[in-house]
Amino acid sequence: MKNIKSKQILKFCLLGIIALMLLSINVKSMDWGNVLNQVSKAVKTGTKIKKAMDVANLTPLQEHYIGRAVAANILAKYKPYYNQKADRYLNILGQTLAQASDRPNTYMGYRFLILDSDEINSFATPGGFIFITKGMIRCCNSEDSLAAVLAHEIAHVQWKHGLRSIRTKRLVSVGAVLLGEVAVKSGSGDFKNVLKAFNGSVNDISNKLINSKYSRATEVVADQTAVTILTRVGYNPQGFIDLLKTMQEKFRHDRHGFYKTHPAPKSRIRVVKQCLRGYTIKEINNNNARNQRFKANLAGI
């Protein structure tokens, strides 16, 4: 009886630590790696997993923590590009598109960041951290094309594609850790397995985004969803096709980044054209204001 009571007290304390930890995090600090350390410390007394987890069961808050740790991995590989004007423009554009998606709100909202890399690439981590390289921005000839890149990444967040790349076995453990549903019994080696599963989950997603690729079906869904978002806002999806044609041309010389992690632009053009059958396409040259601000804000990239 006494043992059960002490277990309950310990579990209560553990939940309290995790709750305080979650409340104390300042997202704007961009100290994403610190979150992982804090979670690690908080679960040091945990041993046994009580309940199986599924992506659908992860709360937006839990998704946010996983996404931040993945974002930290991306920032360990790519440096941010510091340009206030470009950053502000990218975030206004990105937020506008996100609000037109079927998932306008994540736990701390969407954030968009330019990476100082010539590689043609973009990434979306769970919870809405979206990165685009300077190399990818250079593939965009208009705001409509840049909007297409961001809409594609927002689609990955909307459908939780990143979270779905976690191996099921690991998701069971990481879900239990983030829920605090870990039986409290110090001194067991099981804790190491739990922590290993959390780190493994973050690595599963990071590898998928940086080195591997989603299935072709997943990318088709992201492209279809991107077209929906673009047309809801009023962007011309022809900009999407223009972007893919430019990427196709550039991939003749540069076969890194997006070339490795996405289907060939040629097949993506077919998907986008299919989506556009029901839409009336306006002239792409009728949006001077958009293109003026696109050039003014991204000059020098």
Q: Which residues bind Zn ion (CB under 5 A)?
A: 222
Closest distance of CB 115 from Zn ion, Å: 16
Closest distance of CB 84 from Zn ion, Å: 28
Q: Which residues lie closer than 8 Å to 280 by C-beta, 6 or more apart?
A: none
Cα separation, 113 vs 130, whole angstroms: 6
C-beta of 157 vs 174, nearer to Zn ion? 157
Closest distance of CB 255 from Zn ion, Å: 17
C-beta of 49 vs 222, nearer to Zn ion? 222
Question: Closest residue (Cβ) to Zn ion?
Answer: 222
C-beta of 18 vs 222, nearer to Zn ion? 222
Closest distance of CB 239 from Zn ion, Å: 17
C-beta of 218 vs 291, nearer to Zn ion? 218
C-beta of 202 vs 222, nearer to Zn ion? 222
Closest distance of CB 195 from Zn ion, Å: 30
Among all chains, which residue has been given the structure tokens 């999407």? 240
Q: Judge whether 69 and 32 are in contact, CB under 8 Å.
A: yes
- Measured at the alpha carbon of residue 98, what is the angle toward residues 92 and 103, in degrees to the nearest 5? 155
